[in-house]
Amino acid sequence: MSVSTLLDDLAKQISEAIPPGARNLQQDLEKNLRAGLNSVFAKLNLVTREEFDVQAEVLARTRAKLQKLEEHVAHLEAELLKAREQ
């Protein structure tokens, strides 16, 4: 669920909780709630699940590549040490 959809749903649920006599304020309230919630979420620096998953995948690939490079460096260092001993 995107942040925008979440904000829309949350604002709608809150505005629907308003008594029927005050429904003429509903659109105004929804707009103000949406703006306020946008501000709060922006300050929290939240990311969507999709963005998080993409970054987690990038991190996993980077870690795997780093592991291979570390193994390769260790192999090269061992070969260099062996060559110096000869």
C-beta separation of 36 from 59 below 8 A: no
More confident call, 8 vs 69: 69
pLDDT at 47: 82
Q: With helix as H, strand as E and coil as C, how does 5-62 read?
A: HHHHHHHHHHHHCCCHHHHHHHHHHHHHHHHHHHHHHHHHCCCCHHHHHHHHHHHHHH
Query: What are the pLDDT digits (tens) for 10-66?
Result: 777 877 777 767 766 777 877 888 888 888 878 888 888 899 999 999 999 999 999
Residue type, 67: Q
The pair of structure tokens assigned to 62 is: 């980077």
Tell how far CA 57 is from the center of its chain: 12
pLDDT at 84: 92
Say yes or no to pLDDT of 68 above 70. yes
pTM comes to: 0.52
pLDDT at 66: 98
